[in-house]
Amino acid sequence: MQPWKTQSRKIILEQRPWLVVEHHTVELPNGRVIPEWPWIITPDYVNVVAVTEDGRFLCFRQVKYGLQGETLSIVGGFVEAGEDPSAAARRELLEETGYASDDWVSLGHFNVDPNRGIATGHLYLARAARYVQPRNADDLEEQKMIQLTRAEIESALANGEIKVLAWAASITFALRHL
């Protein structure tokens, strides 16, 4: 199998650092050329499933602009320019929850949409998380931090209370390690 070839790129929308939209002219292996193939660039991100020393999952009950109603969410945020994803995960855990961990497991990194760009999500499990300082979150959405048991997080997954695929996947992958 042969890869597609990018012949040209044109920026059609630029709102750095959060979003760049390009049109690519791509050539397929059979020679067919597709003009204006949409390509979206957003920052890579981390999601962290944090489990406390007593086995409780740190979550948030919150709303998101693009979702109907409330959702349960986990720790997450963008990887800053030049930042290692594992360092971003540690930073986000501390900022959003006030917790830290010395026991980290990478759950993998995944492309969000390999045909349109978007970002790479880096997923982590932080075990034996402990409270070390007050939260310093700058989230735009209102959120309330809660702690759930394993049974409660599994029930939330089964009942659709976690409405974002990356969060549900992160939790599912983390449960395999616990």
- The domain made up of 45-175 has a fold known as Nucleoside Triphosphate Pyrophosphohydrolase (3.90.79)
Q: pLDDT tens, 105-142?
A: 999 999 999 999 999 999 999 999 999 999 987 766 78
Quick: pLDDT tens for 69-110: 999 999 999 999 999 999 999 999 999 999 999 999 999 999
SS3 breakdown of the chain: % helix, strand, coil, rounded to 5? 20, 50, 35
For the chain, the distance separating the N- and C-terminal CA atoms, rounded to the nearest angstrom, is: 39
What are the structure tokens assigned to 74, written together? 């986990």
Q: How many CB atoms lie within 10 A of CB 17?
A: 11
Contacts of 111-115 with C-beta under 8 Å, sequence gap 24+, read 112/166, 113/40
Quote the pLDDT of residue 108: 98
Joined tokens for residue 127:
């075990």
User: Beta strand pairing status for 117-131 and 33-41?
Assistant: parallel
pLDDT in the model for residue 142: 80
Long-range contacts of 171-174, Cβ-Cβ distance < 8 Å, separation of 24 or more = 171/49, 171/57, 171/74, 173/49, 173/107, 173/108, 173/123, 173/125, 174/49, 174/51, 174/105, 174/107, 174/125
